[in-house]
Structure 1
């Protein structure tokens, strides 16, 4: 479970990215976080895995007080929280398998980190993760020979290989075409259902969020203005979340369809 209790996040330039956030996200939920660029969506996700520190309140993940973690505790904690980025963060000049094996590096003894030796068990886990996202046949292909959608699946497999209970995704389909976006979103949905993994996506495409997420969290100017079932989202709720930018949202929805 993830619980935000009166959480605030203020950056060094005095910009208040999050204000009075109170949320509970149970294990196995599929949550879409929507809102304008700069509303605080990415900050919300990055506080969960301690990429950003909160400045007020409490943030609990599986009963762990995230702000209290130090040093190795943070690294161990992040093993349970997978993270997918818009830019994929892959090493493109090496193979798909080696990119997935990177997920095991933090746990390796120093000598194995230096020479890059992975155990048979690690390799099996990596191959199983690739199989789960449907690209096992690409294991020994260089990443720079893959399409954007395939690269995003490599990033997803790398996160799955950690065996996390929570998966965070920051604009995972922003650079993908509509057909490929649906394939990647289908992967997220299947993983959510098959492994009871909590999926929390910061997503720019409203139509995709409403189609795939069970729960929508709408953020405006750092505050939660909607939190409820995707099926209950109305045009009025979208107006509250996006304000006078709703025309752009409607155009975006037409593009996706």
Structure 2
């Protein structure tokens, strides 16, 4: 369970990214976070694994107070939270399977880290993760030989191999064409249903949010202005989140820089 209680986040430049956020997200939920660029979507999910520090309030994950963690505690805590980025964050000059195996590096003994030797069971887990996202046949290809959609699926496989309780995805399909974006979202949905991992996706495209997520959280200027079932999102709700229908992003419109 993820719980925000009266959470505020103010950046050093004075920008208030989150205002009095109160949310509870249960294990296994598939949640899409929508809103205008700069509304605070990325900040919200990046506070969960403490990539960003909150200024006020309390944020707990599985009864752990995130703000009270330090040093090794933070690293151990983050092992149970997978993070996927728009830019994939892969090592493009090595193989797909090596990128997936990176997720197991923290669990290796020092000498295995030194020589880069992974146990057989970790290789099996990496191959199984690639199979789950439909690119097992690319396991020994270099990453820079793959399309953008395939690279994002490698990033998802790497996260699955980490065996987290929660997956956070920060605009994972914003740089993909509409057809490829749906393929990747299909993978997210299937993983959510098969593993009961909680998945929170900060997503630019409202159509995808409504099609794939069970729950939608709408943010406007750092405040949660909608929290409910995707099927209950009406035009009035979208107007509340985006200001007007003209501001609602279309599938062929790129995402701008987010706060």
Q: Which residue of 2 aligns with 1:28?
A: 28
Contact 2:2 2:24 in 1 (8 A): yes
Query: Taking structure 1 as reference, are residues 42 and 254 closer, same or farther at Cα in structure 2, changes over 3 Å only?
Result: closer
Q: Which aligned pairs between 1:75-86 and structure 2 lie closer than 5 A? A: 75-86=75-86
Tell me the distance in 2 between the aligned counterparts of 1:109 and 1:219. 43
Moved more, 106-115 or 71-80: 106-115
Alignment partner of 2:243: what SS?
helix
* Shift of residue 253, structure 1, vs aligned partner: 5.0
Tell me the distance in 2 between the aligned counterparts of 1:242 and 1:249. 6
Tell me the distance in 2 between the aligned counterparts of 1:122 and 1:43. 33
Which deviations, in whole Å up to 9, do the C-alpha atoms of 1:4-47 show, x marking residues without a partner? 00001111111111010000000110100000011000000000
Tell me the distance in 1 between the aligned counterparts of 2:17 and 2:69. 22
Q: Which residue of 2 aligns with 1:212?
A: 212
Q: Which residue of 2 aligns with 1:107?
A: 107
1:221 lines up with 2:221 in the alignment: yes
Tell me the distance in 2 between the aligned counterparts of 1:87 and 1:64. 29
Which deviations, in whole Å up to 9, do the C-alpha atoms of 1:188-214 show, x marking residues without a partner? 000010111111000000010000001
Q: Which aligned pairs between 1:147-226 and structure 2 lie closer than 5 A? A: 147-226=147-226
Q: Which residue of 2 aligns with 1:247?
A: 246
Query: Taking structure 1 as reference, are residues 254 and 117 closer, same or farther at Cα in structure 2, changes over 3 Å only?
Result: closer
Q: Which residue of 2 aligns with 1:18?
A: 18
Q: Which residue of 2 aligns with 1:44?
A: 44
Which deviations, in whole Å up to 9, do the C-alpha atoms of 1:209-247 show, x marking residues without a partner? 000001000000000000000000010110110114x31
1:69 lines up with 2:73 in the alignment: no
Q: Give 1 or 2: higher helix fraction.
A: 1
Query: Taking structure 1 as reference, are residues 253 and 116 closer, same or farther at Cα in structure 2, changes over 3 Å only?
Result: closer
Alignment partner of 1:19: what SS?
strand
Tell me the distance in 1 between the aligned counterparts of 2:11 and 2:162. 30
Tell me the distance in 1 between the aligned counterparts of 2:54 and 2:105. 27
Contact 2:178 2:252 in 1 (8 A): no
Cα RMSD over matched residues? 1.3
Tell me the distance in 1 between the aligned counterparts of 2:98 and 2:251. 37
Alignment partner of 2:216: what SS?
strand
Query: Taking structure 1 as reference, are residues 112 and 29 closer, same or farther at Cα in structure 2, changes over 3 Å only?
Result: same
* Shift of residue 248, structure 1, vs aligned partner: 3.8
